[in-house]
Structure 1
Amino acid sequence: MFAHYLSNFIKVLLLIGVLCFLAVNKMLAQTAPPTVVRGILNDAQTQEPLIGVSVYFPDTQIGTVTDVAGKYVLKANQAFSQVRFSYVGYKTVTRFITPNQSQELNLSLDNDSQQLTEVLIKGKRHYRNKNNPAVDLIREVIAHKAANQLQQYNFAEYEQYEKLRFSITNTPEKMQKNFLLRKFPYLISDLDTTTLKGKALLPFYLQEVFSNNYYRRNPDKNKKIITAEKKVDFGEYIDSKGMQAYFNHLYQDIDIYQNNIPVVTNQFLSPIADAAPTFYRFYITDTVATQNGKLIKLTFEPRNETDFLFAGNLYVTQDGNFAVQKADLGISKTINLNWVRDLRIKLDFTPDEAGKYHLSKSEMRADLGLTPKGNFGMYGTRLVAYKNYAFDKPQPINFYDGLPVVTAELVSQPDENFLQANRPDTLTASEATTYTNIETLKNSASFKRTADWATLLIAGYKKAGPNIEIGPVATFYSFNPVEGFRLRFGGRTTPHFSKKINFDTYAAYGFKDEKWKYYLGATYSLSDKTIYDFPVRSVRVSYQQDTKIPGQELQLIQESNVFLSLKRGINDKYLYNKTFNLEYLQEFENHFSYRLGLKRWQQSPAGSLAFERITTSENQSALLSHLTTSELSAELRWAPNEKFFQGKIYRTSFVGRYPVFTLRGIAGVKGLFDGEYNYQQLTLNVFKRFSLSQLGYTDVVTEGGYLFGQVPYPLLSIHRANQTYSYQFQSYNLMNFLEFASDRYASMMLDHCFNGFIFNKIPLIKKTKFREYATLKVLYGGLRPENNPAENNQLLKFPVDASGVTTTYSLEDKPYVEGSLGIGNIFKFFRIDLVKRFSYLDHPDTSELGIRGQFKFDF
């Protein structure tokens, strides 16, 4: 199960691994000292510190903001003679400074706003929505949402620039003493010490994307054409596309006009959602005079500080449109959110000639702490700038066809002249060197050695020369009742060996059954990319001789993994399989794929399992040594807008809001390569996550299957059971292996996470930040008479135990039902479920209750 945890945890572990190993090139030595300005800003009347004041050098993008104590530090390596202080509701101030020197400048800013008259702000104990002018105002904003969204137009288009940056954070002292960074002493010469107070930032990821965006209302369609893109590339050790996809998954577009806003994999209720007055408190705290007219400042906060809600300010127009002109969003430290020390979102809207406000700038900053004391972590920012809006200019009808995101004819990794001419903001000094730093880093021998060992820890593979990888190490040793102690050793070729063809193999030996097992496989890429680069087009051929447990289907983990060796109950019914597979895979950019296959499969019983057939009227039986089938198969899969991380063994998909459809068809052909049976089988699986805002989310899997033809029980649908102590969502955790078989079935699995909605309201317990889970799984099925051994003595008998009691059943009488209640977020990455089985409790060796655990990483 540890490998499953690793695959789920890889999204951040890879970062942590990269964080520790990243290096930056030594900057050119500066010929002049930097210009540094520091100080404290207060309100001129109240002398209270001002939080979030913009401090910057005029006509540049070099700036900072004041912290909760009103303090700031502004630093640049250039010579500047002026510094400017700007804050909504206060007069903008510009002061002269001495270039290339460190100096202190404390100021008191004068209020430039007009206070509302006859506004009463009530305390929390007396707060109510009725007769509250702030609530009346927010309800007007909600009522006018449709008139202020982009979707009000039949057609819309705009240009967009986005910049995504991630940095390692730690105290400057620990950064300098880090034993890995000491291998690269030049690293500390370019640390960013001005962005976060008391912290040093070492940038390791930077991505810039320029695009043209188009919207059509009827039928609803968005299209994004990427015109230029530049990002860091870590080479073979890290899936850079997957890293980009995951960072974009964490930092999605912020649309305050939507009811729910996705933030670091969770759904936050917007302060202008339809239900916002139920969950938020609102106060009118100010009016602000701007060049575009007066704005009303609405301050809001959660009614419950532990819910997934924002706190901050909205600035609303007074022109009758009730549009949001500016928004500052933050979160409470008491919220049930892992790893996030601080999060801030700023939105700016600019009016067009018709007086309609459109988003002009969106900035999200998140400070992530990855250690208990919070010193070591990551700091991520995503800046998006919008310009050149145009409305009701339709494109040709077929323009919106095809993929929602396409890449235009562009120069990959555009040159610096293009970037400087088109960036709305200049890069900071530390950002400007990130591209070249990482390029140098990935080619350094020290980084390659360290990343090689990190790959062994995370993915389970270790290089043995440039062309071969050994692994996965978690399968080198395991044990089971049939093979006893089992040793296995294997490996695979790398893209250095060949981009077109990949070989993988292993050999295993069981010391109890004294049998060798082995696997040989080869995959040939039919495109100009490797078999790991999406979209894949490949042919694969393999031959395997190994053991298998009937009914065990694992997700994101290999069957011979040592962590699955411990199992509950009786587990001695195995198969010896000899399997030949020939497969063609075709993937498309829209994440539709199909897979065509040919399989010759010979099954032989092992352990206490026997293939026994009744042959005479006197009920005499005969044992078969094996069954042989030959199958033709086709699988269609569609995962709209799917994002994933490509690992060494599996792809790890990031759950989004779109469903995933998988349709499989199998046809057994009698006489083809000694196949003994004719049959056909269809299976449809649909996965979908439903987000329920403050109530969490529900993962739903529905599946149905039907088998045509008459077959012995090993060829029926043997339902996915789980006798390990790990919790597996798409398996039945209290069902025994080979307990149920069907030729037709339908199932539904629901796994709901409340995200702490209940625990957060219970004193003391809410401090644990535990999260509640509830699961329900229902399986209907049955056997037609021609496939039921109880009604057809020409079939193989269902397996029996040592006492002769049948241990495999159909689902004719009632459905199989199990459910669970779980507590998650234990130590931030572990979940424990109490599972209860509700039906078929009279079957031998069944358990009504069980405890199961799962490594589950969430923000």
Structure 2
Amino acid sequence: MDLKYFHKKLYYIILFLFSTTTLFAQTTVVSGTVIDASNRKPLPFVAVSFPGTTIGVNTDNQGKYSIQTDKPVTKIKASFLGYKDAVTTVTVGKEQEINLRMLPLASQLDEVVVKSGKKPRYRNKDNPAVELIRKVIENKEKNRPTSYDYVEYKEYDKMQFSLSNVSKDASQKKGLKKYAFVLDNRDSTTVPGKSLLPVFLDEKLSQYYYRKNPEREKTITLGQKTVNFGGAIDNEGLTVYFKHMYYKVDIYSNVVFLMTTNFLSPIANSAPTFYKFFITDTVVVNNQKLVELSFTPRNTTDVLFVGKIYITLDGNYAVQKADLTINKNINLNFVNTMSVNLEFEQNPDGRYHLSKSTTLADFGFNRSKNGALFGIREIVYKNYIVNNPRADTTYKNQEDAVPEAAKNRSDQFWAQNRLDTLTTAESKVYKNTDSLRNMPSFRRTLDIATLLLAGYKDEGWYEIGPANTFYSFNPIEGLKLRFGGRTTPELSKRYYFETYASYGFKDEKWKGFLSATYSLNDKSIYKFPQNYIRASVQYDTHIPGENLQFVQEDNFLLSFKRGNNDKYLYDLAYRLDYVHEFENHFSYSFGLSSLNQSPAGSLYFINLDNNGLPQNIHNLITTDFTIGLRYAPNEQFYQGKIYRIPVPSKNPVFSLDYDAGIKDVVGGQYSYQKLHARIDKRFYLSQLGWADVTVEGGKIFGQVPYPLLNIFRANQTYAYDIYSYNLMNFLEFVGDHYESIDIDQHFNGFFFNKIPLLKKLKWRETASFKAIYGGVSSTNDPSLHPSLYQYPVTGTGQPITYALGKTPYVEGSVGIENIFKFVRIDLVKRFTYLDHPDIAKWGIRTLVQFNF
């Protein structure tokens, strides 16, 4: 499944389904703005609290605050260094707005002289703000936690999503009254001016350990609690996906990754080139003098932040606080506003560590309107200890999977160990979701949504689909109807079955597939880490060169192809596979297979006998033993109940495959060895977006006919295929050795954002380059060995299959993505082998995808 396409489906599911609870009647809620009484300007970072309690908040950048309690308080107080405390009376048990005015302890207004003239041009030279930020950059490494020999702390990670500004009378509408317990549960205090209806909540408590030499880190999950919607929605998968959107923010890193986009940190090494910096204030906090440094992008279309950071003047030049807001002019889909607030605490040695990180995002289809979804990720760090060595065993055996015991912690555990408090509305989410999950009407809605968005109809212990394969067509089978399904974990976590049957009305043949899988670790075979054995049989058609997948799905949209594409194979395959993944993301697999291939359409298998006369071959039979090795460090998945999708990251993925053909076993006709290696890596290029790079190579040892050579991946559909050669014809090139490189670059609007019309359209630029070099050795050249299958030719004798010569096959493209937010269109150019018949030198290809 395409991850980008799935992002789109997931976004709609979120808006379509979720839930929450009601406020306690005796909750006292106070919100408002704190201002300077002398100039009426709002005061940020003022401490607002209920006297006599430990409940308090800070005002935001606009001086706004919101605070609540269930205790019988009667006063509210605002405190700020350099000002007199402001205290006023509140009404118990009511929601109220109170604006507080604070008087400076001492006011002195210097003479202000206003002169006309041109505004001075901003420059880095002789700019004290730039000199200060350069000091911050210079001292970055010593202010990071990894500067210590040992670090440990507890981390509480809370992720919450809410429906935003739902109508107050929604629960009174016909058909929604039964959901009143969800729709009436509002939170109007967390974000001033917004009424939030929490629908998703995940809490995770962990213990983190770090050792510098030899470098190791380990995270132990102490507890995790997540809402459970049931049905096809996988709650752990939602959490992984959401946290990929809301990555942990490290301001000391050069880039901050949010919403699948790289933002340049205001203290990145190159920050003075892209940001303007201004010293806007000096403050004293805990007897520590801080400089308030404001920043803004030089170019308002670049993927940068706007905000303030507070820098210590103790010689460490550390960040003590940061408020980051995404630049509203950047090319980012579905995000109206997004902000990050970082708070730091002082260590005994005087340095600072991150104590709290809060990320808020307002989602919607149109920035001019209120968002439909609001997300909050809050991470609290406590019990921070540095340079306290532990035994070696403390830092070993990192386990990525959450222990089952951690998933089943009691309410008492969370009450005692939660490092932050839940709002009244949040505290009701778990109970409300349980009630919602047991309602037949909600289950029906979930069922319909799964069919429309994922293509499967859930029937409990099995599901029918995928729907997009029910109907397709091709030149060999004509109209093709297919129907199938698979079992779910509702039947068993150990046993899984999958099947389909299809019928072609032109060739009048039935095809089908059947598999049985047994999980060896009592986990779903779709869950990490996998450990299963599978047996399968399949009879179907496929185009030569395509990898025979476990289930080769027909797809209606891919039925439309350019040029001549009537060269197919009928395949009868028997397979036995074993897959084993480890917690460190290394995996291996073994396989045994028997494959009988028969040519169909205009494809044929012909060799020459001893007299030089052609003879037709009707079946090519192979028996193979395969070994696969794969290493994907720190890989994460969007994890569904019966599928999983890797989440793209900066970490490379290495794979190595070995295939041995065994002659005279189960009818195998050839003996050979195939070796294939591949590396996939995403490079994040800061303001220039990102590039997906794939490097691979392969080599065949032994003599084989051309259907067993590497048939290079071609694409004759009108869809842009990232992993294929989009202007190469099917079966055009074969080889017994090759090396290739694919680069798919996304600029994220870096150039278009500087052109007014294109900036308004929010289009983004793409470019790709693909090259493959290889050939066929003399051992496998049918012109030298007539017993090998001859390369196919057209009816007029023109060749259609070639071996690459000294020149590599090269194609490239430039494109525009984010058209209507979902469409990518590429203009593709083929650069080599332009003299081949029936080829396309240029082409326009389309891809539907989803990006923020």
TM-score normalised over the length of structure 2:
0.94
Question: 1:132 — aligned with what?
Answer: 127
Sequence identity (%):
49
Find the residue that maps to 2:802 and give its secondary structure.
coil
Question: 2:285 — aligned with what?
Answer: 290
Question: 2:441 — aligned with what?
Answer: 446
1:402 aligns with 2:397: yes
Q: 1:849 to 1:61 in 2, by over 3 A?
A: farther
Q: 1:590, CA displacement in angstroms?
A: 1.7
1:684 aligns with 2:677: yes
Equivalent residue letter for 2:9 = L
Aligned counterparts of 1:219 and 1:807: Cα–Cα separation in 2: 57
Q: 1:551, CA displacement in angstroms?
A: 2.1
Q: 1:60, CA displacement in angstroms?
A: 5.0
Q: 1:816, CA displacement in angstroms?
A: 0.3
Equivalent residue letter for 2:595 = W
1:477 aligns with 2:461: no
Q: Is the 8 A contact 1:172 1:200 kept in 2?
A: no
Q: 1:526, CA displacement in angstroms?
A: 1.4
Q: 1:435, CA displacement in angstroms?
A: 1.6
Question: 1:378 — aligned with what?
Answer: 373
Q: 1:376 to 1:267 in 2, by over 3 A?
A: closer
Q: 1:479 to 1:52 in 2, by over 3 A?
A: farther
Aligned counterparts of 1:733 and 1:179: Cα–Cα separation in 2: 52
Q: Is the 8 A contact 2:57 2:65 kept in 1?
A: no
Equivalent residue letter for 1:688 = K
Q: 1:856, CA displacement in angstroms?
A: 1.9
Aligned counterparts of 1:447 and 1:20: Cα–Cα separation in 2: 11
Q: 1:770 to 1:632 in 2, by over 3 A?
A: same
Alignment of structure 1 residues 238-257 onto 2, 5 Å: 238-257=233-252
Q: Is the 8 A contact 2:64 2:192 kept in 1?
A: no
Question: 1:792 — aligned with what?
Answer: 785
Aligned counterparts of 1:181 and 1:50: Cα–Cα separation in 2: 42
The equivalent position to 1:600 in structure 2, one of 590, 594, 609, is 594
Alignment of structure 1 residues 24-39 onto 2, 5 Å: 24=20, 27=22, 30=24, 32=25, 34-39=27-32
Unaligned stretches of 5+ in structure 1?
none
Q: 1:110 to 1:777 in 2, by over 3 A?
A: farther
1:418 aligns with 2:413: yes
Aligned counterparts of 1:39 and 1:87: Cα–Cα separation in 2: 16
Q: 1:61 to 1:689 in 2, by over 3 A?
A: farther
Q: 1:113, CA displacement in angstroms?
A: 9.8
Equivalent residue letter for 2:555 = N
1:772 aligns with 2:768: no
Note the aligned Cα RMSD (angstroms).
2.8
Q: 1:565, CA displacement in angstroms?
A: 0.5
Q: 1:625 to 1:325 in 2, by over 3 A?
A: same
The equivalent position to 1:213 in structure 2, one of 208, 212, 228, is 208
The equivalent position to 2:344 in structure 1, one of 338, 343, 349, is 349
Q: 1:91 to 1:853 in 2, by over 3 A?
A: farther
Question: 2:573 — aligned with what?
Answer: 579
1:16 aligns with 2:9: no
Equivalent residue letter for 2:762 = K
Aligned counterparts of 1:612 and 1:336: Cα–Cα separation in 2: 56
Q: 1:333 to 1:709 in 2, by over 3 A?
A: same
Q: Is the 8 A contact 1:224 1:406 kept in 2?
A: no
Find the residue that maps to 2:146 and give its secondary structure.
helix
1:463 aligns with 2:448: no
Equivalent residue letter for 1:84 = K
Alignment of structure 1 residues 145-160 onto 2, 5 Å: 145-160=140-155
Q: Is the 8 A contact 1:225 1:406 kept in 2?
A: no
Question: 1:497 — aligned with what?
Answer: 491
Equivalent residue letter for 2:527 = D
Question: 1:652 — aligned with what?
Answer: 645
Alignment of structure 1 residues 234-383 onto 2, 5 Å: 234-370=229-365, 374-383=369-378
Aligned counterparts of 1:595 and 1:197: Cα–Cα separation in 2: 54
Q: Is the 8 A contact 2:263 2:304 kept in 1?
A: yes
Q: Deviations over 1:107-128 (max 9, x none)?
A: 2233579999999999976110
Moved more, 306-315 or 386-395: 386-395
Find the residue that maps to 2:803 and give its secondary structure.
coil
Q: 1:248 to 1:23 in 2, by over 3 A?
A: closer
Aligned counterparts of 2:239 and 2:118: Cα–Cα separation in 1: 45
Moved more, 836-845 or 346-355: 346-355
Q: 1:808 to 1:190 in 2, by over 3 A?
A: same
Equivalent residue letter for 2:397 = G
Aligned counterparts of 1:305 and 1:556: Cα–Cα separation in 2: 48
1:528 aligns with 2:511: no
The equivalent position to 2:481 in structure 1, one of 487, 494, 515, is 487
Q: 1:448, CA displacement in angstroms?
A: 1.6
Aligned counterparts of 1:194 and 1:159: Cα–Cα separation in 2: 27
Find the residue that maps to 1:360 and give its secondary structure.
strand
Q: 1:177 to 1:683 in 2, by over 3 A?
A: farther
Q: Is the 8 A contact 1:114 1:289 kept in 2?
A: no
Moved more, 836-845 or 452-461: 452-461
1:570 aligns with 2:568: no
Aligned counterparts of 1:117 and 1:591: Cα–Cα separation in 2: 64
Q: 1:478, CA displacement in angstroms?
A: 0.3
1:727 aligns with 2:707: no
Q: Deviations over 1:309-359 (max 9, x none)?
A: 111111111222211111111122111111111111111111122211111
Q: 1:745 to 1:181 in 2, by over 3 A?
A: farther
Find the residue that maps to 1:764 and give its secondary structure.
helix
Question: 2:542 — aligned with what?
Answer: 548
Q: 1:377, CA displacement in angstroms?
A: 2.3
Q: Is the 8 A contact 1:61 1:426 kept in 2?
A: no
Q: 1:88, CA displacement in angstroms?
A: 7.5
1:703 aligns with 2:699: no
Moved more, 744-753 or 101-110: 101-110
Moved more, 681-690 or 262-271: 262-271
Q: Is the 8 A contact 2:27 2:93 kept in 1?
A: yes
Q: 1:558, CA displacement in angstroms?
A: 5.1
Q: Deviations over 1:287-321 (max 9, x none)?
A: 10222321111111110111111111111112222
Find the residue that maps to 2:596 and give its secondary structure.
strand
Moved more, 318-327 or 218-227: 218-227
Equivalent residue letter for 1:615 = D
Moved more, 745-754 or 638-647: 638-647
Equivalent residue letter for 1:308 = V
Find the residue that maps to 1:235 and give its secondary structure.
coil
Q: 1:405, CA displacement in angstroms?
A: 4.5
Find the residue that maps to 1:151 and give its secondary structure.
helix
Q: 1:39 to 1:18 in 2, by over 3 A?
A: closer
Q: Deviations over 1:155-192 (max 9, x none)?
A: 22222222111112234358557877454133232122
Aligned counterparts of 1:797 and 1:707: Cα–Cα separation in 2: 18
Aligned counterparts of 1:772 and 1:232: Cα–Cα separation in 2: 39
The equivalent position to 2:847 in structure 1, one of 831, 848, 854, is 854
TM-score normalised over the length of structure 1:
0.93
Aligned counterparts of 1:696 and 1:118: Cα–Cα separation in 2: 48
Q: 1:256 to 1:613 in 2, by over 3 A?
A: same
Q: Deviations over 1:512-567 (max 9, x none)?
A: 11111111111111122222222121111111111001123599995411110001
Unaligned stretches of 5+ in structure 2?
none
Aligned counterparts of 1:782 and 1:113: Cα–Cα separation in 2: 84
